[in-house]
Structure 1
Amino acid sequence: MRCAIAVDVGATNLRLATFTGKELKDRVSFKLQGSVNPLNYIIGYLEKFSKSCNYIGIASAGPMNLKKATVTLINYNNLTINYLDSLKGYGKVYITNDCIAGILAEKKFGEAKWAENAVYLTFSSGIGAGVMVDGHILIGKDGNAHEVGHIVLNYEDSIECGCGKTGHWEAFCGGKSMPKFFQKTTGKIVNSPEEIFKLYYDGNQKAAEFIEKCMNINAAGLASIINVYDPEVIVLSGSVYLHNEELFLKKLPQLTKKYVMNRMPAIKTATLREDAVIVGAGILAFLNGKLP
């Protein structure tokens, strides 16, 4: 039976598993901090499993250059990795963006099964998307056609995104950026989005005003996706979303309608939830890297 090794290199966590085509096995995960190189953990896992699973699918946070097979990990001091060179000898390696893996998985097993036009959108450490239009996944010249978190929503604001530019959607509402935006907006120092949402649920007025502001920003970003790609369904995931799912689903669709020109799509939670990306990495390996 064919087996693949699935790798999800996120902005905060590294997750690895073997994938049978239907299910994940031998799962492990690591918290990535500072200058930790995820390759060390990946190679350790491959040493154990690559003899029985010699197809490797890697879904990574970007940006990437698919022609050079490199990925730059912004959250790890702009570490650039060439996975093909680094993992030579362990099997056939295929790489893609983490959100492209997400739409692959939801198309095969989840909420996008029925759709030819779908977007997988994650609210996590950052904001990203995998986009399918007319049954084809959008890639772009370097593999970055889906970087919706870097849509410019306020060209006058000086708040800096993790990529170093300003005015981006992710600079306001990405999980890593929210504390900085919260401090700028309210004057209060917090260390994580979890603290902000706890203040909100505890009835803090400043937090309530801030979350309302963020939801309007998210709605503007979501509307931009709908107006540009015209999807039938948008599948939502990511840690910030999944930990506040009820709040997002209550506020986001209604707020988005203010900005939308195209017909509203269905807005759903990812069936695979936090497993969408790693399952998609496994599917990528089974497809021999050939995206629909």
Structure 2
Amino acid sequence: MGYAVGLDIGGSWIRAALGDKEGKILRKSVRRVASGSEDQFISQVIEMVREVCRGDPGEVEGVGVGAAGRLDIRRGSIEFSPHTTLSRIPLKETIEAEFRRPAVVLNDCVAAVMAERMVGAGRGVENLVYIGIGTGIGAGIIVDGRVILGKDGNAHEVGHMIVDLDGRIACSCGGIGHWEAYTSGSGIPKYARYLSGGFAGAGGLIERIRSCGEKVLAKEVFSAAYDGDPFARFVIEEAAEINSKALANVVNLYDPQTVTIGGGLTLKNPSLTVDPIIRKMPPLCFNVPPSVSVTPLGEEAPLLGALLSAFGSVRSRLIPQL
């Protein structure tokens, strides 16, 4: 059996792919997450696996899933997702019962760091961090050649590190002061709203925020920043400070050689997200600063990692504890 199926489950989209151990994708399907019941969501996942297998999973070794949210990797379930209504979804059990193939469920950024290690910028690197900045913020971490998982598979939830001791902004998870609440795709509108209260200016983006509040989207803040809007530039600069300090914390904890950054927000705006981190982070690190770059795998990093995690030989190499 030379093939496997990977699934990347995000807050808005599901991506499924059939591919081989070298990370070559043969067939792919992309759909919006079903907005109905949990049963409809599970049915959608099953349909997408069947679609990329063309109805016949006979040559498939297994199914790997990369999913955002708090997981129980032993059960293979999504326990809680702050950006969807999903909770206690038994993906591993359902997939294995349906296809008679082993399934593994990992965090999407853990899947991404596995892809980076096998086929991306982390080839040959034993200490590696992947950071995803999109709707939320997450990480996948490899130390001394092994993926860090923790007791439930949630050892990498860096987006819920506290970066603001005053807790000025609430996170989608219910906590306060979390990194994700300030500089993710869902957080930047909140942070812009907060900063607008102390900004002495008028016109442009700040007037829209004062009138529309958090209905202004992150992409509008970035667009205004590219156009030179003073308040938008201020928001992006403040976000860059937080990103740099938060990533310095990650570097000081895990001492990586290489950090790659992905996620929709980053991939669409590298000059306003990654470039400032490259400039600002090194002086904040106690440890020797790592190289920092945008992932060369683009938006496919979590999908590729999910696909590769379905191969037993890859799991035994990177996550032997699972």
TM bucket normalised to smaller: over 0.9
Instruction: Show the counterpart of 1:28.
Output: 29
**Residue identity opposite 1:107 in structure 2:** R
Partners of 2:37 and 2:226 in 1: how far apart? 34
Question: For residues 46 and 247 of structure 2, what CA distance do their matches in structure 1 show?
Answer: 37
Alpha-carbon distance in 2 for matches of 1:211, 1:99: 24
Rate the CA distance shift 1:133–1:233 in 2: closer, same or farther, 3 A: same
* Residue in structure 2 matched with residue 75 of structure 1 by the alignment: 83
Secondary structure at 2:43 match in 1:
helix
Q: Is the 8 A contact 2:34 2:44 kept in 1?
A: no
Mean Cα displacement is larger for which, 12-21 or 231-240?
12-21
Extract unaligned runs of 5+ from structure 2. 198-208
- What is aligned with 2:280? 255
Secondary structure of the structure 2 residue equivalent to 1:80? coil
Deviation digits for residues 80-125 of structure 1, max 9, x if unmatched? 2111222213122111111111111111111111211110111111
Q: CA deviation at 1:33?
A: 6.8
**TM-score, scaled relative to structure 1:** 0.94
Please report how far the alpha carbon of residue 155 of structure 1 lies from its aligned counterpart in structure 2 after TM superposition: 2.1
- Partners of 1:130 and 1:266 lie apart in 2 by 16
Q: Write the distance in 1 (CA, Å) between the matches of 2:142 and 2:266.
A: 21
| 1:43 is the counterpart of 2:53 | no
- Higher Cα radius of gyration: 2
Deviates more, 1:280-289 or 1:261-270: 280-289
Partner Cα separation in structure 2 for residue 33 and residue 105 of structure 1: 27
2:136 matched to which residue of 1?
A: 126
- 1:189-268 to structure 2, matched below 5 A, reads 189=213, 190-268=215-293
Q: Which amino acid aligns with 2:46?
A: I
Residues 34 and 208 (structure 1), Cα distance of their counterparts in 2 relative to 1, 3 Å cut: farther
Shift of 1:217: 0.4
Instruction: Check the 8 A contact 2:266/2:274 in 1, yes or no.
Output: no
Instruction: Map Cα deviations across residues 154-197 of structure 1 (whole Å, 9 max, x no partner).
Output: 12123111111001000111111211221222261343211110
Residue 113 of structure 2 corresponds to which residue in structure 1? 103
The AA in structure 1 aligned to 2:303 is I
Distance 2:155 2:225 in 1: 34
Residues 65 and 104 of structure 2 are in contact (CA less than 8 Å); yes or no, is this contact kept in structure 1? yes
**1:283 is the counterpart of 2:298:** no
- Post-superposition offset of 1:141: 0.7
Q: How far is 1:249 from its partner?
A: 3.5
Q: Which moved more, 1:126-135 or 1:30-39?
A: 30-39
Match of 2:203 in 1: none
Which residue is 1:140 aligned to? 150
Tell me the amino acid that sits aligned with residue 163 of structure 2.
L
For 1:118-154, what per-residue CA distance to the aligned partner results, in whole angstroms no more than 9, with x for missing partners? 1011111111110011111100011001111111111
Distance 1:52 1:287 in 2: 14
The number of residues matched between the two structures is: 292
Shift of 1:35: 4.9
1:218-253 per-position Cα deviation (integer Å, ceiling 9, x unaligned): 001110011111100001111100111123333112
Determine if contact 1:34/1:76 at 8 Å carries over to the other structure.
no
Any conservation in 2 of the 1:12–1:125 contact (CA below 8 Å)? no
The residue that corresponds to 2:11 in the other structure is 11
Contact 1:36–1:76 (CA under 8 A) maintained in structure 2: no
> For residue 204 of structure 2, what is the aligned residue in structure 1?
none
Report what 2:161 is aligned to. 151
Q: Which moved more, 1:66-75 or 1:100-109?
A: 66-75
d(CA) in 1 for partners of 2:250, 2:67: 21
How well do the aligned residues superpose, as a CA RMSD in angstroms? Answer: 1.8
Judged with a 3 Å threshold, the aligned counterparts in structure 2 of structure 1 residues 253 and 46 are, in CA distance, closer, same or farther, namely: closer
Q: Which amino acid aligns with 2:92?
A: L
Structure 1 runs of 4+ off > 6 angstroms? none
Whether the 8 Å contact between 1:35 and 1:77 is mirrored in structure 2 is no
The Cα shift of 1:52 comes to 4.0
Q: TM-score, normalised to structure 2's length?
A: 0.86
3-state SS of paired residue (1:79): coil
| Residue type at the aligned position of 1:25 | L
Measure the CA separation in 2 of the matches of 1:28 and 1:78: 21
Give the Å deviation of 1:11: 2.3
Query: Which has the larger share of helix?
Result: 2
One-letter amino acid of the counterpart of residue 305, structure 2: G
For residues 41-93 of structure 1, what are the alpha-carbon distances to aligned partners after superposition, in whole Å with 9 as ceiling and x for unaligned? 21112334234425111111121112332212222224221112222131221
